[in-house]
């Protein structure tokens, strides 16, 4: 996955969700000028860094503090959970690894719903 400069949207979606859950701050890209200025949030460059350090990344998923998820992350992740493309069976079409990340995000969120 890390070899992509512009990943398929499904891979990007799964890794963005993982970044949100891990508290990774996206790179902010400003486009346009004046009143037309827009901010876009790019998680891909940060996600590639996570993938480059795959052992550390996997360890952060295994040791994730699932009993203490900050509220702002839970609010932000709802955007992904409500996306009809954010489903393991759909994301699997792009990457089995991304499917696993998607399953992890969903599982952590379900755990949080039950535990709280």
Predicted TM-score (pTM) of the model is 0.88
For the chain, 116 residues long, give each residue's pLDDT as a single digit of tens: 556 678 899 999 999 999 999 999 999 988 888 888 888 899 999 999 999 999 999 999 999 999 999 999 999 999 999 999 999 999 999 999 999 999 999 999 999 999 87
User: CB neighbours of 111 closer than 8 A, spacing ≥ 6?
Assistant: 66
Closest CA to 57 of 115, 8, 1: 1
DSSP string covering 29-74 = EEES-GGG-EEEEE-HHHHHHHHHTHHHHHHHHHT--TTS--HHHH
Domains in the chain, please, with CATH? Answer: 9-115 (1.20.920.60)
The angle at the Cα of 54, spanning 49 to 57, to the nearest 5 degrees, equals 80
CB-CB neighbours of 49 under 10 Å: 13
């Amino acid at each position: 996955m890390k070899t992509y400069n512009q990943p398929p949207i499904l891979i990007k979606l799964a890794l963005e969700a993982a970044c949100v859950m891990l508290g990774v701050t996206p790179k902010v890209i400003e486009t346009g000028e004046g009143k037309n200025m827009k901010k876009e949030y790019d998680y891909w460059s940060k996600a590639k860094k996570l993938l480059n350090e795959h052992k550390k990344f996997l360890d952060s998923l295994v040791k994730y503090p699932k009993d203490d998820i900050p509220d702002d992350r839970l609010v932000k992740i709802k955007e992904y959970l409500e996306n009809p493309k954010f489903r393991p069976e759909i994301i699997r079409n792009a990457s089995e690894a991304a499917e696993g990340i998607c399953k992890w995000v969903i599982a952590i969120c379900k755990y949080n719903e039950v535990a709280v």
